[in-house]
Amino acid sequence: MTSTPSVTRSWEGLTIPAPGTYLLDQAHKRVGFLARHMMVSKVRGQFGEAEATITVAENPLESSVSATIQAASIETGQTDRDNHLRSGDFLEAEKYPTLEFRSTSVKSYSGSEFVLAGELTIKGVTRQVDLEVEFEGVGRSPFGQDIFGFTASTEIDREDFGLTWNVALETGGVLVSRKIKIEIEGEAIRQD
Protein backbone atom coordinates (compact mmCIF):
# COMPACT_ATOMS: atom_id res chain seq x y z
CA MET A 1 0.00 0.00 0.00
CA THR A 2 1.45 3.36 -1.00
CA SER A 3 0.71 6.52 0.87
CA THR A 4 -0.07 9.84 -0.73
CA PRO A 5 2.33 12.59 0.33
CA SER A 6 0.76 15.24 2.50
CA VAL A 7 -0.31 18.34 0.58
CA THR A 8 -0.42 20.49 3.68
CA ARG A 9 1.66 21.15 6.76
CA SER A 10 1.46 23.17 9.94
CA TRP A 11 3.50 26.34 10.31
CA GLU A 12 3.09 29.07 12.95
CA GLY A 13 -0.46 27.92 13.69
CA LEU A 14 -1.50 27.90 10.02
CA THR A 15 -2.21 24.99 7.71
CA ILE A 16 -0.17 25.86 4.62
CA PRO A 17 0.69 24.15 1.30
CA ALA A 18 3.51 21.64 1.05
CA PRO A 19 6.62 22.95 -0.73
CA GLY A 20 6.38 23.00 -4.51
CA THR A 21 5.50 25.00 -7.60
CA TYR A 22 1.99 26.38 -8.01
CA LEU A 23 0.45 28.21 -10.97
CA LEU A 24 -2.28 30.84 -10.85
CA ASP A 25 -5.60 29.20 -11.77
CA GLN A 26 -6.90 31.06 -14.83
CA ALA A 27 -10.51 30.25 -13.90
CA HIS A 28 -10.15 31.66 -10.37
CA LYS A 29 -8.26 34.93 -10.52
CA ARG A 30 -8.82 38.65 -10.61
CA VAL A 31 -6.02 41.15 -11.20
CA GLY A 32 -7.82 44.40 -10.58
CA PHE A 33 -7.23 48.06 -9.91
CA LEU A 34 -9.10 51.09 -8.66
CA ALA A 35 -8.56 54.74 -9.63
CA ARG A 36 -10.40 57.89 -8.63
CA HIS A 37 -12.17 59.74 -11.45
CA MET A 38 -12.66 63.54 -11.38
CA MET A 39 -11.90 63.45 -7.63
CA VAL A 40 -15.48 62.33 -6.90
CA SER A 41 -15.90 58.67 -7.88
CA LYS A 42 -14.01 55.41 -8.35
CA VAL A 43 -13.40 53.43 -11.52
CA ARG A 44 -12.57 49.75 -11.19
CA GLY A 45 -10.93 47.64 -13.84
CA GLN A 46 -8.96 44.49 -14.33
CA PHE A 47 -6.49 42.70 -16.54
CA GLY A 48 -8.10 39.64 -18.11
CA GLU A 49 -4.81 37.92 -18.95
CA ALA A 50 -2.31 37.25 -16.18
CA GLU A 51 -0.04 34.36 -15.23
CA ALA A 52 1.86 33.73 -12.01
CA THR A 53 4.20 31.08 -10.68
CA ILE A 54 4.39 30.72 -6.92
CA THR A 55 7.23 28.69 -5.45
CA VAL A 56 6.39 27.59 -1.92
CA ALA A 57 9.70 26.96 -0.16
CA GLU A 58 10.50 24.53 2.65
CA ASN A 59 10.88 27.67 4.79
CA PRO A 60 7.67 29.55 3.85
CA LEU A 61 9.43 32.89 4.37
CA GLU A 62 11.73 32.02 1.45
CA SER A 63 8.81 31.49 -0.96
CA SER A 64 8.70 33.55 -4.17
CA VAL A 65 6.33 34.79 -6.86
CA SER A 66 6.76 35.88 -10.47
CA ALA A 67 3.85 37.25 -12.48
CA THR A 68 3.25 38.52 -16.01
CA ILE A 69 0.21 40.60 -16.96
CA GLN A 70 -0.78 41.34 -20.57
CA ALA A 71 -1.17 45.13 -20.84
CA ALA A 72 -3.65 44.93 -23.74
CA SER A 73 -6.03 42.82 -21.61
CA ILE A 74 -7.00 45.86 -19.51
CA GLU A 75 -10.75 46.30 -19.21
CA THR A 76 -12.95 48.75 -17.34
CA GLY A 77 -16.27 48.07 -19.03
CA GLN A 78 -16.01 51.09 -21.33
CA THR A 79 -14.40 50.56 -24.76
CA ASP A 80 -13.16 54.12 -25.37
CA ARG A 81 -11.56 54.31 -21.92
CA ASP A 82 -9.97 50.87 -22.36
CA ASN A 83 -8.47 51.89 -25.70
CA HIS A 84 -7.15 55.11 -24.12
CA LEU A 85 -5.56 53.09 -21.29
CA ARG A 86 -3.81 50.86 -23.89
CA SER A 87 -2.50 53.91 -25.79
CA GLY A 88 0.73 55.87 -25.39
CA ASP A 89 -0.97 58.18 -22.88
CA PHE A 90 -0.99 55.30 -20.39
CA LEU A 91 0.29 51.70 -20.80
CA GLU A 92 1.55 51.96 -24.39
CA ALA A 93 0.60 48.29 -24.77
CA GLU A 94 2.06 47.81 -28.25
CA LYS A 95 5.55 48.89 -27.15
CA TYR A 96 5.33 47.45 -23.60
CA PRO A 97 3.10 44.37 -23.92
CA THR A 98 3.52 43.14 -20.33
CA LEU A 99 3.57 44.33 -16.75
CA GLU A 100 5.87 42.20 -14.58
CA PHE A 101 6.17 41.47 -10.87
CA ARG A 102 9.03 39.58 -9.20
CA SER A 103 9.13 39.11 -5.45
CA THR A 104 12.37 39.77 -3.63
CA SER A 105 11.52 38.77 -0.04
CA VAL A 106 8.85 38.23 2.57
CA LYS A 107 9.36 41.32 4.74
CA SER A 108 7.07 40.43 7.62
CA TYR A 109 4.08 38.37 8.68
CA SER A 110 1.40 38.21 11.33
CA GLY A 111 -0.95 35.26 11.40
CA SER A 112 -2.20 34.71 7.85
CA GLU A 113 -1.07 38.16 6.63
CA PHE A 114 2.26 38.67 4.91
CA VAL A 115 4.10 41.62 3.38
CA LEU A 116 5.74 40.53 0.14
CA ALA A 117 8.40 42.88 -1.22
CA GLY A 118 9.07 42.88 -4.92
CA GLU A 119 9.79 44.73 -8.12
CA LEU A 120 6.95 45.90 -10.35
CA THR A 121 7.75 46.85 -13.94
CA ILE A 122 5.34 48.99 -15.98
CA LYS A 123 6.33 50.62 -19.31
CA GLY A 124 9.95 49.57 -18.79
CA VAL A 125 10.16 51.30 -15.38
CA THR A 126 10.85 49.12 -12.33
CA ARG A 127 9.97 50.21 -8.80
CA GLN A 128 9.94 48.50 -5.40
CA VAL A 129 6.45 47.70 -4.09
CA ASP A 130 5.14 45.93 -1.02
CA LEU A 131 2.14 43.64 -1.50
CA GLU A 132 -0.05 43.01 1.52
CA VAL A 133 -0.94 39.34 1.07
CA GLU A 134 -3.54 37.38 2.97
CA PHE A 135 -3.31 33.60 2.83
CA GLU A 136 -6.92 32.39 2.49
CA GLY A 137 -6.49 28.64 2.97
CA VAL A 138 -5.42 25.38 1.37
CA GLY A 139 -7.32 22.36 0.13
CA ARG A 140 -7.97 19.81 -2.59
CA SER A 141 -10.43 20.49 -5.40
CA PRO A 142 -13.09 17.94 -6.46
CA PHE A 143 -10.78 17.29 -9.46
CA GLY A 144 -7.93 16.13 -7.20
CA GLN A 145 -5.88 19.32 -7.54
CA ASP A 146 -4.03 20.72 -4.54
CA ILE A 147 -4.84 24.41 -4.28
CA PHE A 148 -4.49 27.42 -2.03
CA GLY A 149 -6.16 30.81 -2.09
CA PHE A 150 -4.87 34.32 -1.49
CA THR A 151 -5.67 38.00 -1.82
CA ALA A 152 -3.12 40.78 -2.24
CA SER A 153 -3.20 44.55 -2.50
CA THR A 154 -0.93 47.55 -2.76
CA GLU A 155 -1.11 51.17 -3.79
CA ILE A 156 1.19 52.76 -6.35
CA ASP A 157 1.75 56.25 -7.71
CA ARG A 158 1.23 55.77 -11.45
CA GLU A 159 3.46 58.75 -12.25
CA ASP A 160 6.42 56.83 -10.76
CA PHE A 161 6.03 54.49 -13.76
CA GLY A 162 5.78 57.24 -16.39
CA LEU A 163 1.96 57.17 -16.55
CA THR A 164 1.63 60.95 -16.31
CA TRP A 165 -1.28 61.81 -18.64
CA ASN A 166 -3.97 63.89 -16.93
CA VAL A 167 -6.36 66.80 -17.34
CA ALA A 168 -6.74 69.62 -14.81
CA LEU A 169 -10.35 70.27 -13.78
CA GLU A 170 -11.93 73.74 -13.61
CA THR A 171 -13.13 72.97 -10.10
CA GLY A 172 -9.64 71.96 -8.97
CA GLY A 173 -8.02 68.57 -8.96
CA VAL A 174 -7.46 66.27 -11.91
CA LEU A 175 -9.37 63.82 -14.09
CA VAL A 176 -7.45 60.69 -13.00
CA SER A 177 -5.87 60.10 -9.59
CA ARG A 178 -2.14 59.52 -9.28
CA LYS A 179 -2.70 56.84 -6.65
CA ILE A 180 -3.90 53.51 -8.01
CA LYS A 181 -4.93 50.65 -5.75
CA ILE A 182 -4.07 47.18 -7.02
CA GLU A 183 -6.32 44.32 -5.89
CA ILE A 184 -5.51 40.66 -6.60
CA GLU A 185 -7.50 37.55 -5.75
CA GLY A 186 -6.67 34.05 -6.79
CA GLU A 187 -6.20 30.36 -6.39
CA ALA A 188 -2.97 28.55 -7.16
CA ILE A 189 -2.75 24.93 -8.33
CA ARG A 190 0.14 22.61 -7.44
CA GLN A 191 2.22 21.53 -10.46
CA ASP A 192 4.77 19.08 -9.01
Q: Please identify every stretch of the chain with a pLDDT value under 50, giving residue numbers as ranges.
A: 1-3
d(CA 115, CA 156): 15
Q: What is the pLDDT of residue 1?
A: 46
Q: Where are the alpha helices (DSSP H) in 7-122?
A: 79-86
d(CA 91, CA 100): 13
Query: Which residues in 146-167 are b (16+ Cβ under 10 Å) and which e?
Result: bbbbbbbebebebeebebeeee
178 φψ region: left (φ > 0), alpha (ψ -120 to 50), beta (else) = alpha
Predicted confidence (pLDDT) per residue in 30-79, tens digit: 999 998 876 667 889 999 999 999 999 999 999 999 999 999 999 999 99
pTM reported for the whole predicted model: 0.90
Domain ranges of the chain: 8-190
Q: What's the chain's average pLDDT?
A: 91
| Domain covering 8-190: architecture | Beta Barrel (2.40)
